[in-house]
Amino acid sequence: MVRIIPPRQKTMERFHIIDIIGLIGAPYPQNGQSSYYIKCPCCDDDPKKRHLNINLKKDVFRCPRCGVSGGLFDLYSLYTGVPRDKAYKAILRQLHPEAGNEYHQPQRTPPIQSIPQATEYPLNDLEIRHATYTAMLGMLSLAPDHRDNLLNRGLTDADILRLGYKSTPIAGMSTIAKQLLSDGYYLAGVPGFYRTNDGDWTFIHEQRGILIPVRNKDGLIQGLQIRRDNVEKRKFRWVSSGDRQDGCRAEGWTHLAGEITPVIIITEGPMKADVINALTGMTILAVPGVNTLTHLKAALADLKADGLQEVKTAFDMDYTTNQHVQNGLENLFALLDANGFRYGTYLWDPRYKGLDDFIWEHCMGKQRPEKGE
C-alpha cells in the first residue's frame, strides 16, 4: 500500500474568541463574565433579544433558538461574511497590521484574566483530515450490537464495510494517537484530537456509539459524527475538540451519499442519507440540520457544476408541527431559488418519522431494488 505523507505543517498563531470580539463589532462582556449573551444575527429580529451565547472559557458560541454554533473562526465568518477557511488569515491581518495589510487595527479590550490557556488550532486541509481519519478508522472495529443496529436499518455487511462505520474507542485513545503520529499522520487541526495536560496527543473520549464518516462529493472524509448509545436527546453529535488544548472544532459539513445525478434529495443527517441511498440507489445530500446550512451553498455550487439541476427535500415529517424547522425550510427554499434550482418536497405516511424508516418498512421482506430503480 502506498501512503502519501502530507507536507510538514507550519507553525500557526493561536487566538481566543475574546481577540475577535472587537473585530466583529460585538459587545464585550461585563467585568468578570466568562459567558454572556448577545443578539443573534440569524434569528433575533427584535433588537432587545439576546439569544447568542458566547463562552469565553471554551472559545465557542451557540444560539439555542436557531442552532447556529461553532468556534472563534465560525463566529468571525458569521459576522463578516469571510469564508471560514480564510478567517484565520483575515484575523491575523487585522490583529497584526504591521505585517502589511489594508485593514486598520481596532482598539481591543484587554483579555479577561480568568480565561484558561486552552487554544484552538485552525482546521487542517481536507486531504490531511481524510488521511488521518481513514488511518484511525482502520485501527478500530465495529461492535456486534452496532452492526446489528445498522443491519436493522437496512444496510448490508457490504454497505457497512464500504461506508467505514466503526465503534468509538472506549480506551487506548492516546495509544491510537501515538501510532498515528509514528506513521506520519497529522493530528493538529483534525477535529477530535487534542493535547493532554502532559502535552501528549489523544482523541476525544466520547460516549460509546457509532462513528459516521462525513464525506464530500469525492468521498473524502471531512469530519466524523457519532450516534451515541442510550440517549434520547442530541443522539447525533459531531466529533469535535475545539474546547480542548490544541484541539480543533468540527464544522457543519454536508455529506453526499451516492453518485452525482441531475436530481438529488436533501435530508438531515449522514446516517439517514447513507441508509436511503443504500436502500434506493438515489443520491442523497445530508445537512446537519435544516437550520444549519452554512456549508450547503458551496456544496450545491460544486454539484451544480457537475450537473445537478433539481433538489427534493425529505426532512422528518414532524416539520409540519415544528415552527423552527419550517423557518429553516423557508431559508433552504430561498437558497435553492436564488441559485436557480428546481425544487420540491417528498411527503410520506406521517406514521413514519423519517424517509429512511418509511422506505425500510416497505422494503422488508422484499428484494432490495437495484441502483437507480
CB burial of residue 261 (10 Å; 0-12, 13-18, 19+):
middle
pLDDT of residue 277: 94
Could you tell me what percent of the chain has a pLDDT over 90? 39
Burial letters for 176-208: b for 16+ Cβ neighbours within 10 Å, e otherwise?
A: bbeebeeeebbbbbbbbbbbeeeeebbbbebee
Spatial contact of 309 and 342, defined as CB atoms under 8 Å apart: yes
Higher pLDDT, 67 or 5: 67
pLDDT of residue 89: 86
pLDDT of residue 111: 44
User: Looking at residues 345-357, what average pLDDT do you find?
Assistant: 77
Name the residue among 39, 26, 110, 129 with its Cα closest to residue 76.
26
DSSP codes joined into one string, 66-135: T--EEEHHHHHHHHH---GGGHHHHHHHHH-GGGS-SSPPPP-PPPPTT-----BPPPPPHHHHHHHHHH
Beta bridge partners of 209: 228
pLDDT of residue 31: 66
pLDDT of residue 168: 92
Count of residues in the chain? 373
Planar angle of CA 222, 130, 289, nearest 5 degrees: 15
User: Looking at residues 351-368, what average pLDDT do you find?
Assistant: 69
Q: CA-to-CA distance for 311 and 30, rounded, in angstroms?
A: 46
**96-110, 123-137, 293-307, 341-355 — which is least confidently predicted?**
96-110
Task: Specify the pTM.
Answer: 0.68
**128-132, 286-290, 326-330, 334-338 — which is least confidently predicted?**
326-330
Cell 451519499 sits at which residue? 257
Higher pLDDT, 323 or 118: 323
Percent helix, strand, coil in the chain (nearest 5)? 30, 15, 50
**26-40, 247-261, 353-367 — which is least confidently predicted?**
353-367
pLDDT of residue 5: 43
Cell 499522520 sits at which residue? 185
- The answer on pLDDT for 275 being more than 80 is yes
Separation in Å, CA 18 to CA 59, 63, 112, 370: 8, 18, 8, 54
Beta strands in 244-299 (DSSP E): 255-257, 263-268, 284-287
Separation in Å, CA 354 to CA 48, 156, 204, 227, 348: 37, 19, 30, 16, 9
To the nearest 10°, report the CA torsion of 232, 206, 157, 131. Answer: 140
Separation in Å, CA 132 to CA 190, 199, 200, 223, 227: 8, 20, 17, 10, 20
Each residue's pLDDT tens digit, 175-229? 999 999 999 999 999 999 999 988 899 999 878 999 999 999 999 999 999 999 9
Q: CA-to-CA distance for 167 and 46, rounded, in angstroms?
A: 44
pLDDT of residue 307: 93
Q: What are phi and psi of 4, to 5 degrees?
A: -90, 120
- The answer on pLDDT for 58 being more than 70 is yes
Spatial contact of 306 and 288, defined as CB atoms under 8 Å apart: no
**4-13, 121-130, 208-217 — which is least confidently predicted?**
4-13
Each residue's pLDDT tens digit, 300-313? 999 999 999 999 98
- The answer on pLDDT for 170 being more than 90 is no
87-95 and 72-80 are packed helices; what angle lies between their axes, rounded to 10 degrees? 80
User: Looking at residues 253-274, what average pLDDT do you find?
Assistant: 94
Rg (CA), the chain: 21
pLDDT of residue 7: 46
Q: CA-to-CA distance for 176 and 73, rounded, in angstroms?
A: 28
3-state secondary structure 172-215: CHHHHHHHHHHCCCCCCCCCCEEECCCCCEEECCCCCEEEEEEE
pLDDT of residue 99: 53
Q: CA-to-CA distance for 120 and 245, rounded, in angstroms?
A: 7
Each residue's pLDDT tens digit, 152-167? 988 999 999 999 999 9
